[in-house]
Amino acid sequence: MVLQRISKPIIYFILIAMSLFFLMPVYVMIITSLKPFDEVTLATMWQLPTTLDFSGYAEAFGKLAPNLMNSFYLVIPATLLSAILGAMNGYVLAKWKFKGADVLFTVILFGMFIPYQSILIPLIQFLREAGLYNSILGLIFVHVVYGLPITTLMFRNFYANIPDEMIESAQIDGAGFLGIFRHIMIPLSVTSFVVVAIWQFTNIWNEFLFAVTITTSDQQPVMVALQNLSGSQIVHWNVQMAGALLAALPTLLVYILLGKYFVKGLLAGSVKG
């Protein structure tokens, strides 16, 4: 008991110290983004701005606004499509197992772990041939295809938890493959759709390798544009930090508003069924 009484303050001390470490980048991001450029000096980096100056945001938003829109045009259809395909695959692999279904599942799953560098050269050749290179449409296609393994895994694990008896009784009532999917599986998995959608939204929004290799200039999503902000000769740290915050805002908002589902997705995406 004595041990317990001493250790609680120590635990709180460690947790608070770690919280400060975790918040440090956010603090610096916010204060730097609110300073005018001439106040962003090395010596005063940690000090609060003397006056609030939004010119960093104005400049960052001016530069990133088209790319932010690109990211939205990309992420919304890609998320919806990959969730639907994932649900279809997951339904079959959980409830309509055929011979070799488990092997097929593992074969699909491996696609989740490959380094995308290992498919990038033929992918770009293919997109050029298909006329999809340097287009948002091409990026949507890519994210739907390479999102298949993870969305299939997530939906399969959700559907595996729905008791088989429910399917059987629905069959006795005369429901077929599609009827069961539409009237039983989809209504039961609304939460799963939310979890998968959050997962895909976050991943596609934050993705960089496909974005930087498949698109150039005005087709680029926001992460590539943010990276390019630092490419200029004089680094305007206030603009950069404002840009980083703007680019991070959508996924941060999703996390703040739907944090519970976000963490569920995190776990569902990692723990094997």
Partner 1 sequence: METVKPTHLTEQTVASLSKKKRLSSDQLMAIGFILPSFILILIFVYGFIGWTGYVSFSNWNTLVPDFSFAGLKNYLFLFQDFRFQADLRNTIFFTILFIGFVIISGMGLAILLDQKIKAEPVFRNLFFFPMALSFVVTGVVWQWLLNPSTGVNLFLNKLGMNPKWYTDTNILAGFQWGKIEFGIPAALIAVVIAAVWQMTGFSLAMYLAGLRGIPDEVREAARMDGASEFLIYRKIILPLLRPITVSVIIIMAHISLKIFDLIYAMTGPGANFVTDVPGVYMFETTFRGNYYANGAAIAMIMLVSVAIFIVPYLIHSRKAER
Tell which positions 185-224 bind partner 1, by CB under 8 A: 202, 205-209, 212-213, 223
* Contact predicate 254/201, CB 8 Å: yes
Interacting span for partner 1 (CB under 8 A) from 48-56, 58-66, 73-81, 234-242: 234-242
Residue 15 in the binding site for partner 1 (CB under 8 A):
yes
Choose which of 76, 80, 85, 170 interacts with partner 1 (CB under 8 A): 85
Q: Which of residues 52-71 bind partner 1 (CB under 8 A)?
A: none
The answer to the question of residue 43 lying near partner 1 (CB under 8 A) is yes
Side chain identity at residue 175, one-letter code: A
In this structure, the number of other CB atoms found within 10 A of the CB of residue 61 comes to 15
Q: Determine if 72 is a binding residue for partner 1 (CB under 8 A).
A: no
Span 97-136, contacts to partner 1 by CB under 8 A: 98, 102, 104-111, 113-123, 126
Q: Is 48 in the site for partner 1 (CB under 8 A)?
A: no
Nearer to partner 1, 93 or 196 (CB): 93
DSSP code per residue over 17-45:
HHHHHHHHHHHHHHHHHTS-GGG--STTT
Distant-in-sequence contacts of 130-136, Cβ < 8 A, 24+ apart: 133/214, 134/214, 134/215, 134/216, 134/219, 135/215, 135/219, 136/70, 136/73, 136/74, 136/215, 136/219
Task: Please say which residue, 80 or 85, places its beta carbon nearer to partner 1.
Answer: 85
